[in-house]
Chain A
Amino acid sequence: MSLILAVLLAPPLGASSLAILVRPYQRFVGWVSTIGVALSLAASIALCTTVMGAGPQQEAVPATALWRVDALSALLALCVTFVALVAMLLGRRAGHPDREELARTRYFWIFTNAFVFTMLIAVTIQNVALMWVAIEATTITSAMVIPLTRTKASVEASWKYLLICSVGIALAFAGTVLAYFDFVATAGEVPGALNWTVLRGAAPSLHPALLQLAFAFLLIGYGTKAGLAPMHTWLPDAHAEAPSLVSALMSGVLLAVAMYAIGRWKAVVDAAVDSSFTNRLLMGFGVVSVVIGTFSLVIQRHYKRMLAYSSVEHMGLVSIGLALGPLGAFAALLHTMNHAVAKSLSFLAAGRILHRYDTTEIGKVTGLLRVMPWTGALFAIGILALVGLPPFGLFVSEFLLVRAAVVTGRFWVAGLVLVLLLTAFTSLVHHLNRMLYGEPPPAVTIGERRGWSVTVLAVSVGVLIVLGVTLPRPVAALITQSVRGVIP
């Protein structure tokens, strides 16, 4: 297990250090990073099989162990490394060799690798306070890459991102301290008191009132990072202004990592307080996020912001799912996985569109299918997957989510979610239509080779279809086992 963990974590750290040391930027740094992340992906697949082979009984680790990998961690690690690999394969080509560009590329690899590394730490570490440290570090590392090309808009977006998320995450730390305070007041100082397993084991004897307060802080804190409304205001700016490779990582998996932290804490608090408390809060934030996300989609004029608001909507769905018991949690985790693949695909395709058209406005991108037949098709597939059309994976997870709502007797949630999904569907497809057809602008070159990037993105499409048509048995088993990490 520890060897696999080393293979998972070492490559991004090593690649980041390499990018710092090699100066000026050399092309091989990008290659090494990409191969490193491929290694990490292999390690995370190995983690998944190990965890499943061990089964839920063998998950118990010594209370003082630094790392703790269960099915939930393995699932998140898999998402992170997959999206990172796809993004890096697309961004590997090192632009034009002028000096400034080289400096920027070096800078990009330093922080992107560090960003991936901190996300992987966050999902595998056992101590909840160190998990906080890692998540805070993701804010810093990702904020550094947003203004890669320094414009007023990108500086503004990254400032907002940095400030709002730092403040939010500080509140999450206050929540962590409150929970620890509760633990120390009851059980005294114990080694490993901040370890998730110990906390969860001790939770039934903790004070419910204090844990409720702690959870409120934690949910607002990590919720800010997860893009839950009304704390989502930084999200559309940051995701739209970041380079597309970074947007893919931020939107696809960083939000999921923050939701992971919420899920972990929910399991602790649910052991002490009746689970209806956390469920009510998650349901509230989830519904508000879906409503705000959906209606912001309707009025969008920029396609990257449109994708960003779609993330708010999807994180809302995940939050609703977590509030709906084991069935809902299953749907939520499957949705997280599907969303990671579909959103990274869409953002990466959007990045290629931006590169060709040099505008982010929906109205100025016309005739996409003629200008870039491959990218246009991939972008369309990404959007159609995001609106939950079959045969893509999000259809299955959204269906399961609505079913979970019906089974638990929350018909109004099921109805509301369906109506909102329909609204999102019509507005996204409307925007998509405007982009795909029509006369291309005269300044844009027409035609596209089927290159390397297209092949890579096609793999993402394949994954989405496989997840949608036949939910493979190992994946289903992994998610079923992950649900134990969220629901007692």
Chain B
Amino acid sequence: MGGAFSQLVMLGSSGMLVTALIVLWRKGVPAYITAYRWQSWLLAALTATVGYYGDGQLYWVAGLLLGLKGVAIPALLRTMQRRFGTEREAAPYVNTEVSLLIASVLVVFAYLLGRPWMAVTQLPTRQGLPLAMSVLFVSLFIIVSRKKAITQVIGFLMLENAIALLAVVGTFGVPFLVEFGVFLDALMGFLVMQIFIYHIHDTFDTLDVDALARLRH
């Protein structure tokens, strides 16, 4: 387990953070889908790397990740996006400049939060931990600051990626049974969200969640 391993993990995790940030400064849904696909591929590659240096079982997980999050979900997202045309994320609740500033604050916060646990572990992958937290916080921010239902779903998917990253770099993967259950939930959750996006589009004629403000008190 040499320096190369840690370097690779660091590189992959940083790449995942960058793909999350892309969502904050690009405006079109196709760009978000591409960013998500890149992120999933990076995650799969990282998982395989950790599998190479550590537990061989992670190859299976990497394969599943690539198939589900790298290919299947982006394809479904594309179909959905094509069907609804190019609705752009016209005016998010927070504009691009402020979004990026907030994102940088979140990354710093993640590093601060990560300090106690950087101290308790000697894992070669520990550099990835605060980065995983950063991706987590940035995805949360995407969900709360963007208006299109489809963008929110992509934010949610990125949040899931962040947690998968956390599991891989922190613990070299959770037990396979758990991993499998999480996959199943992720898939089901995504499919149900997809159904609801169609429902929203049918009933409201838009994917802008601003229109969803009927229920107050």
Show the binding face of A for B, using Cβ within 8 Å. Answer: 127, 129-130, 133, 136-137, 139-140, 143-144, 147, 150-153, 155-160, 162-163, 166-167, 170, 173-174, 177-178, 180-182, 184-185, 193-194, 207, 209-210, 213, 236-237, 240-241, 296, 299-301, 305
List 17 A–B pairs whose Cβ atoms lie within 8 Å, in order of A's numbering.
A127-B178, A133-B185, A140-B185, A150-B199, A151-B203, A155-B196, A162-B192, A166-B156, A167-B143, A177-B171, A180-B171, A181-B171, A184-B170, A194-B174, A210-B120, A296-B217, A305-B217
B184 touches A166 (CB 8 A): no
* A129, B181: Cβ atoms closer than 8 Å: yes
The prevalent SS among residues of B at the interface is helix
- In the bound complex, how far is the Cα of B192 from the Cα of A133, in angstroms? 16
CA distance A236 to B116 in the complex (A): 38
Are B120 and A207 within 8 A (Cβ)?
yes
Tell whether, in the assembled complex, residue B217 and residue A133 are in contact, meaning their CB atoms are under 8 Å apart. Answer: no
B56 CB–A CB distance under 8 Å: no
| Nearest B-chain residue to A164, judged by Cβ | B143
Closest residue of chain B to A217 (Cβ to Cβ) is B136
Q: Which chain A residues border B117 with CB–CB below 8 Å? A: 178, 181-182, 207, 209-210, 213
CB pair A163 B143 closer than 8 Å: yes
Interface residues of chain A: helix, strand, loop or mixed (majority): helix
A153 to B217, CA, bound (A): 13
Nearest CB of chain A from residue B199's CB, rounded to whole Å:
5
Tell me which residues across on chain B come within 8 A of A177, comparing CB atoms: 163, 166-167, 170-171, 174
Q: A180 CA to B179 CA in the complex, in Å?
A: 13
B149 / chain A contacts, CB cutoff of 8 Å: 159
CB of B64 within 8 Å of the partner chain:
no
A353 to B80, CA, bound (A): 40
| Among A155, A185, A301, contact of B199 (Cβ-Cβ < 8 Å) | A155
A273→B152 CA distance, assembly (Å): 36
Please name all residues of chain A whose beta carbon is closer than 8 Å to the beta carbon of B185 when the two chains form the complex: 133, 136-137, 140
Question: Is B84's beta carbon under 8 Å from chain A?
Answer: no
Chain A, residue nearest B186 (CB): A136
Within 8 A of A (CB), among B6-60: none
CB proximity of A179 to chain B, nearest CB, Å: 10
Contact string, B149-163, partner A, CB cutoff 8 A, digits 1/0? 100100010011011
Interchain CB contact under 8 A, A167 and B159: yes
Interface residues in B164-216 by Cβ distance below 8 A to A read 166-167, 170-172, 174-175, 177-178, 181-182, 184-185, 188-189, 192-193, 196, 199-200, 203-204, 209, 212, 214-215
B175 CB contacts on chain A under 8 angstroms: 129, 193-194
Which single member of A133, A136, A152, A236 contacts B204 (CB below 8 Å)?
A152
Taking the complex as formed, is B66 at the interface, i.e. its CB lies under 8 A from any CB of chain A?
Answer: no
The answer on a CB contact under 8 Å between B200 and A155 is yes
Please report B residues at the A interface, Cβ cutoff 8 Å.
Answer: 113, 116-117, 120-121, 123, 136, 140, 143, 149, 152, 156, 159-160, 162-163, 166-167, 170-172, 174-175, 177-178, 181-182, 184-185, 188-189, 192-193, 196, 199-200, 203-204, 209, 212, 214-215, 217
Contact B120 A185 (CB under 8 A): yes
Closest to A135 in B: B185
Expressed in whole angstroms, the Cα–Cα distance for A17 and B203 within the complex equals 30
What is the bound-complex CA distance between A147 and B200, given in angstroms?
Answer: 11
Contact A213 B199 (CB under 8 A): no
How long is the Cα–Cα vector from A301 to B217 in the complex, in angstroms? 8
Residues of B within 8 A of A152 (CB): 203-204, 214
CA distance A193 to B162 in the complex (A): 22
**In the complex, are the beta carbons of B177 and A130 less than 8 A apart?**
yes
A160: B residues at CB distance < 8 A: 212, 215
B120 contact from A151, A153, A182, A300, Cβ within 8 A: A182
A146 nearest in chain B by CB position: B196
Contact B215 A210 (CB under 8 A): no
- Roughly how many angstroms separate A150 CA and B172 CA in the complex, as a whole number? 44
**Bound Cα distance from A237 to B188, whole angstroms:** 23
The winner among A140, A151, A177, A193 for most chain B CB atoms within 10 A is A177
Contact partner of A299 (CB less than 8 A), chosen from B143, B170, B196, B217, is B217
A300 shortest CB reach to chain B, Å: 7
Contact status of A213 and B116, CB under 8 A, knowing A129-B174, A166-B189, A299-B217: yes
Q: Which residues of B contact A181 (CB under 8 A)?
A: 117, 121, 166, 170-171
Q: Is the CB of B204 within 8 A of A155?
A: yes
Which residue of chain A is the closest to B196 with respect to CB atoms? Answer: A159
Closest 4 CB pairs of A and B: A133-B181, A181-B170, A209-B116, A129-B178
Closest beta carbon of chain A to B122's beta carbon, Å: 8
- When chains A and B are docked, how far (Å) is the Cα of A210 from the Cα of B193? 33
Roughly how many angstroms separate A159 CA and B188 CA in the complex, as a whole number? 15
A178 touches B170 (CB 8 A): yes
Other A-B pairs beyond A144-B192, A181-B121, A236-B215, 20, CB < 8 Å:
A136-B185, A143-B196, A150-B199, A150-B203, A151-B203, A152-B204, A155-B199, A155-B200, A162-B192, A162-B196, A163-B156, A174-B163, A174-B166, A178-B117, A180-B171, A181-B117, A181-B171, A184-B171, A185-B121, A194-B174
B179–chain A nearest beta-carbon distance, Å = 9
- Shortest C-beta distance, A443 to chain B (Å), equals 24
Minimum CB–CB distance for B212 against chain A, Å: 4
Known: A166-B189, A213-B117. A130 touches B152 (CB 8 A): no
CB of A404, distance to nearest CB on chain B (Å): 33
CB-CB under 8 A from A237, the residues of chain B are 215
Contact status of A163 and B178, CB under 8 A, knowing A136-B185, A299-B217: no
> From A159, which residue of chain B is reached at the shortest CB distance?
B196
User: How many whole Å from A73's CB to the nearest CB in chain B?
Assistant: 19
Task: A237 to B215: give the CA distance in the assembly, Å.
Answer: 7
* Chain B residues, CB < 8 A from A178: 117, 166, 170
Which residues of chain B come closer than 8 Å to A240, judged between CB atoms?
Answer: 215
Contact B196 A156 (CB under 8 A): no
Given contacts A153-B215, A166-B189, contact A147 B120 (CB under 8 A): no
Q: Assess the A140–B188 pair: CB atoms within 8 A.
A: yes
Beta-carbon contact of A213 and B113 below 8 Å: yes
- Flag if B184 contacts A133 (CB, 8 Å): yes
| Residues of chain B within 8 A of A236, CB atoms compared | 215
